[in-house]
Chains A and B, each alone.
Chain A
Amino acid sequence: MAERRPRLLYLAFFFPPSRASGVFRARATANYFVEQGWDVTVLRGPDRFFDEITGARDDAMTDTVDPRVEVAAPEMDYFRWETDVREYGRFRGNFPGAARAWFNWKQEHVFPDKYQGWGTAALREGLRRHRKDPFDLIVATGNPFASFGSAWALSKLMRRPFVVDYRDSWTLDQFKNADMFPPEHPAWKWERRILRSAAASLHVNDAMRAWHAGKYPEAADRMQVVLNGWDPDVVSDEQSSPDEDRPLSFSFVGTLTHVQPIGSLLEAYRLMTERGDHAGAQLDFYGHIGFFAKTEADLKADLGLDKELPGVTVRGPVPKPAIATAYAASDVLVFMTGGSKYVTTGKVFEYMATGKPIVSVHEKGCAAEELLRGYPLWFEPASLDPEDVAAAMADAGDAARKSDPDTAARARAYAQSFTRYAALAPFEQWSRDLVAKRKG
């Protein structure tokens, strides 16, 4: 008789067709586990959330999920997102104050996350599926952190181990390096409770792991680092060298948000071109502005990209299969992040995989620096001062013009060790051992 495949229940609210930035890690996890012989069931957010609430849907992403992955989308309540009073239910429509008090009570006394309604539905769906065909392991990725609560509850009810994957931090404000909640907030109690019971917790870099280990020493020995990585289906390893006559293209590829120092970049670009370094160079932005389509126009204005700037082009979102084209059209990649020692971002791996010069535009001490340090085509400005950034951009432009094939090959070889699957392999092996040990 064939051996039963280990079964994984994966709670990942942001999963294709969502195009949120966290989707890639979730997609890679599901695909990798399936490829390694697991039966994977993913519980994701409902379609309405991605269609109407965030407006951030990319159906091309769904095609990149292994067809063997079983996906279900439990429903949720939209209390925090409903922006049309006509859509309110009978209770909220007639007693808005009482409805809000009830919602707040649940936040305080049940689970402190606005996605709690989804968490409850995922719990029910997980239990229903477990009764039909038992799972061996539960993995939850946050945000939203309601998935952690559901994984904890499922683990208690199903008597199965669970793992929490901190794609983002819950109680740490990564950008301000400060606590996210006041000391009396129930999130602290829940995080301690979850980490005490979890078989493991995964963190995207060592600084995050260390912060959590410091806060929860009782769980420190079960904390692992699973780096983000780059997806081979997204980045082509073909190398193109810039045509001598063509002006250079400096590109930012990714989602623009409030936390990135875009003012410094725009000013540096202006200084560089005014000085005559790389005359005619273009600055291109590929990607969405903000995670939610509804707020895109406001954010664009806030970032100063609503008006025409010479040489600057907002090229807008690029479908995932076409991202390689955007990279191919770029000569220098601008790595801009709101960074702190806790922020790596998945984009840095993709950037490195291209083998092109990368110029950093972020505060010193960003976690990504650790990775970039070994990359031979990294250009780091002395500070975020536009003068320094302009100098680093000019140097990166020179490197792109020089186009040394050996250096580019070394750069790509270095990036090879950072694929998503390479990052996930030790965790998958650990999960397999855990399940095997449990089965005795």
Chain B
Amino acid sequence: MNVLFVAPSGARAKALATETRRAVDAGHRVLLVAEGESKLDGHELDGRVQTHWIGSSRLSYTEPRATRLFRRRLPLAVLRRVGRGPLRARARRAAKDWRERVVAPLDAEQKTRTQRMRRDRRDAVVREQVQGWAPDWVVLHEPLAVEAVAGFLPALIAERPALRTTYAFEELWDETDG
């Protein structure tokens, strides 16, 4: 059986290492989709576990140069230049106002856009792996994983009713029952 672990942040690294090992020990093919190896530091994965790193933390939004120059650097530089002698206090207040009104929203937007880029990357990679690797069992190992698959998994389950989805790799049933 192909078992795909989705753990974008690798938040439960110890459980992830244990469960993936149990899955390969049970004879399954296992693929782990997670942010990166560094997130699992201290919890070594079994060598038989295939990995696909999302690597979204390397992404960050880059502001247009004009914005950076005319809305961040230049106004503050001018205020620094003129803020000498009797204008010092006023220039400092003006610089503070500018940071609050202009720079802070720019920072917030930059953060939002970075998060969106990382989320889009995460969702795209997870979608690509879930749809491309043809898993029989998808383990949504953390809340972020649920978020990552919410957009397409219901349709996929409707298409492939035998696809298993769980929050952990665990014994489900016993073939000998009956």
What residues of chain A have their CB less than 8 Å away from a CB belonging to chain B? 14, 18, 20-23, 53-54, 56, 80-86, 96, 100, 114, 143-144, 168, 257-258, 290-292, 294-295, 298-299
Residue in contact with A292 in the complex, picked from B170, B171, B173, CB distance below 8 Å: B173
Tell which of B140, B167, B172, B178 touches A143, judged by Cβ atoms closer than 8 Å: B178
Q: Please tell me if the beta carbons of B173 and A80 are within 8 angstroms of each other in the complex.
A: yes
Asked whether, in the complex, the Cβ of A56 is within 8 Å of the Cβ of B178, the reply is yes
> Is the pair B175, A290 in contact by a Cβ cutoff of 8 Å?
yes
| Residue of chain B at shortest CB distance from A52 | B161
Per the bound structure, the CA–CA distance linking A290 and B172 in Å amounts to 16
Closest to A53 in B: B173
A139 to B108, CA, bound (A): 70
User: In the complex, A53→B1 CA distance in Å?
Assistant: 18
Q: Binding site of B, secondary structure by majority: helix, strand, loop or mixed?
A: loop
A210 to B152, CA, bound (A): 56
Q: A22-B178, A291-B178 are in contact. Are A83 and B168 (CB under 8 A)?
A: no
Chain B: minimal CB distance from A224 (Å) = 23
- Nearest first, the 9 closest Cβ-Cβ pairs linking A and B are A20-B178, A83-B164, A96-B167, A291-B178, A85-B165, A21-B178, A81-B173, A22-B178, A14-B178
* A to B CB contacts below 8 Å, 30 in the list: A20-B178, A21-B178, A23-B178, A56-B178, A80-B171, A81-B172, A83-B137, A83-B164, A83-B165, A84-B157, A84-B164, A85-B146, A85-B165, A85-B166, A86-B154, A86-B157, A86-B165, A96-B168, A100-B170, A114-B173, A114-B174, A168-B176, A257-B176, A290-B175, A291-B178, A292-B173, A294-B162, A295-B175, A298-B1, A299-B175
Interface status of B159 (Cβ within 8 A of chain A): no
Binding site for A on B (CB under 8 A): 1, 137, 140, 146, 154, 157, 162, 164-168, 170-178
Pick the residue among A23, A96, A100, A143 that contacts B177 (CB under 8 A): A143
A291 touching B165 in the complex, CB below 8 Å, given contacts A85-B146, A86-B154: no
A85 and B140 in contact (CB under 8 A), knowing A80-B172, A96-B168?
yes
Residues in chain B near residue A56, CB distance under 8 A: 178
* Structural contact, B164 and A100, CB atoms closer than 8 A: no
Instruction: With A18-B178, A85-B166, A86-B157 given, name 7 new contacts (CB 8 A).
Output: A14-B177, A23-B178, A83-B172, A86-B165, A143-B177, A292-B175, A298-B1
Instruction: Please name all residues of chain B whose beta carbon is closer than 8 Å to the beta carbon of A258 when the two chains form the complex.
Output: 175
CB-defined contacts of A54 to chain B, threshold 8 Å: 178
CB closest residue in chain A, given B146: A85
B178–A100 CB distance below 8 A: no
Give A87's nearest chain B residue, CB to CB: B165
CA distance A144 to B170 in the complex (A): 19
CA distance A28 to B169 in the complex (A): 39
Q: Can you name the residue of chain A whose Cβ is closest to the Cβ of B1?
A: A298
Q: Is the CB of A83 within 8 A of B166?
A: yes
User: What residue in chain B is nearest A104 (Cβ atoms)?
Assistant: B170
Known A83-B164, A83-B165, A298-B1; judge A291-B177 contact (CB<8 A): yes
Interchain CA distance A244-B167 in the complex, whole Å:
60
Instruction: Report the nearest B residue to A167, measured CB to CB.
Output: B178
By a CB distance below 8 angstroms, the chain A residues around B1 are 298
State A100–B172 Cα separation when bound (angstroms). Answer: 12
Residue of chain A at shortest CB distance from B165 = A85
- How many Å from the CB of A166 to the closest CB on chain B? 14
